[in-house]
Amino acid sequence: MKRFLLSITLLSILLLFVACDRFDQDYLVVIKVEDFISTFTSTTQNALISHDTNSIMAFYADNYMNNGIDKDESRAFYNQEWSNNVQFEVTLLDESSLKYSIHIFDEDLNVDTQWEDYAKKIGNTYYWYGDQENPNIQPQAKQVALVEVLTALWCSNCPDVEHALDAIYANIPQQMIMLNYHVGDQLTLSDLNSTPYYGITAPTVLFQGTTQISGAGQTQIDQYQTVINNIISSDADISFDNISFNKESNKVTGSVKINTHSNMSFENTYLRLAIYEKETDKAHLITHELAKNVVRARAMVDLSDKDINNSIDFTINFTNTLDDDTYLVIWVQKNVSFDAINPETDRVYNAIEMPLNTRR
């Protein structure tokens, strides 16, 4: 019996040493969050006075991040000098999210600090986890939806399509760009090829260079919002900056820097540009509404052999007089062939627009 008790005692001492050697987290086993808060509060109150920062940091997750403060920065805060009169308290703010207020008050050192923090159960215990927000790291931007429409002034069904898209655009003007290509009327571009890429008849809508929906029935129109929502909720693989341009009498010249946010090949990839007019003086033959978002000129630069680390130059030539309500649209698009769409490979990576009535 003595030998059995001795074995149990030795095993307990061994486990105690192993636990004490793991300062950061694993020796803490707290099932209830109330126990976690109580233990953390009493431990921290004593540890601040005894300068035992390791005991405090054992309650923090390794990937702790709270309003830009990580675990190492929290350690540095706790590691400062505190008086014997320092007071520490934790107050529950929201039970559902485990949101707490932490308050340290040291009158002797003129310190009165309070912040909000979040606990989270990880494994078999709780840790301080923070809000996981770092203001120094910007979230990846979402894609802007590029919606290209094959339309015409003579097309009886086209206004229904354009009205439906206008209604969606009204709710997300910063997340959607609409370009209307006219066919068979006085607004038709001279270089517009009527190929399956834009559709073989009006109205046809092309979303992000990939999804093509033809017709103006309610079944087709009901699909627009879902397709656009999927686009604008997806991360953008590229973004644009350092955009500069100069509008001359018959052309627009400029440059743009393309920033990539993922590993991507620029084979069969193009910088595409369009100048469109918000509202023209040409009216629909049936509704008598003035044609809107009409593409007046366009250009394309093959990026396959370009150094993406440098700005990309472009030139857009035009023959029509551009009014004050004209806009420049820039996008990057992968297409093996513009005669057809391959949903497996073809897509628009992102797009941006800006008014042409100012010099940049």
Q: What is the pLDDT along the chain (360 residues), one digit of tens a residue?
A: 555 444 544 445 444 444 444 444 444 454 689 999 999 999 999 999 999 999 999 999 999 999 889 999 999 999 999 999 999 999 999 999 999 999 999 999 988 999 999 999 988 889 999 998 766 656 678 999 999 999 999 999 999 999 999 999 999 999 999 999 999 999 999 877 655 677 778 999 999 999 999 999 999 999 999 999 999 999 999 999 999 999 888 899 999 999 998 888 999 999 999 999 999 999 999 999 999 999 999 999 999 999 999 999 999 998 877 888 899 999 999 998 877 888 888 999 999 999 987 555
Cα–Cα distance, 21 to 242 (Å, whole number): 54
Helices (H), 79-171: 158-171
Q: What count of other Cβ atoms lies within 10 Å of the Cβ of residue 292?
A: 16
Cα–Cα distance, 128 to 275 (Å, whole number): 53
Cα–Cα distance, 176 to 159 (Å, whole number): 19
Q: What is the pLDDT of residue 26?
A: 44
Q: Which two tokens stand for residue 250?
A: 């018959």
Cα–Cα distance, 95 to 104 (Å, whole number): 21
Q: In the chain, which segments carry CATH 3.40.30.10?
A: 145-355
Q: What is the pLDDT of residue 219?
A: 96
- Which amino acid type is present at position 217? G
b vs e for 36-47, b when ≥16 Cβ sit within 10 Å of the residue's Cβ?
bbeebeebbeeb
3-state class (DSSP) for residue 48: helix
Regarding the domain with residue range 145-355, which homologous superfamily does it belong to in the CATH classification?
Answer: Glutaredoxin (3.40.30.10)
Q: What is the pLDDT of residue 14?
A: 46
CA 356 to chain centre: 26
**Are the C-beta atoms of 142 and 76 separated by less than 8 Å?**
no
b vs e for 146-155, b when ≥16 Cβ sit within 10 Å of the residue's Cβ?
bbbbbbbbeb
What is the pTM (predicted TM-score) of this model? 0.64
Q: In the chain, which segments carry CATH 3.10.450?
A: 2-128
How many Å from the N-terminal Cα to the C-terminal Cα in the chain?
90
Q: What is the pLDDT of residue 137?
A: 58
Architecture of domain 2-128: Roll (3.10)
3-state class (DSSP) for residue 340: coil
Q: Nearest to residue 233, comparing CAs of 164, 141, 139, 166?
A: 141
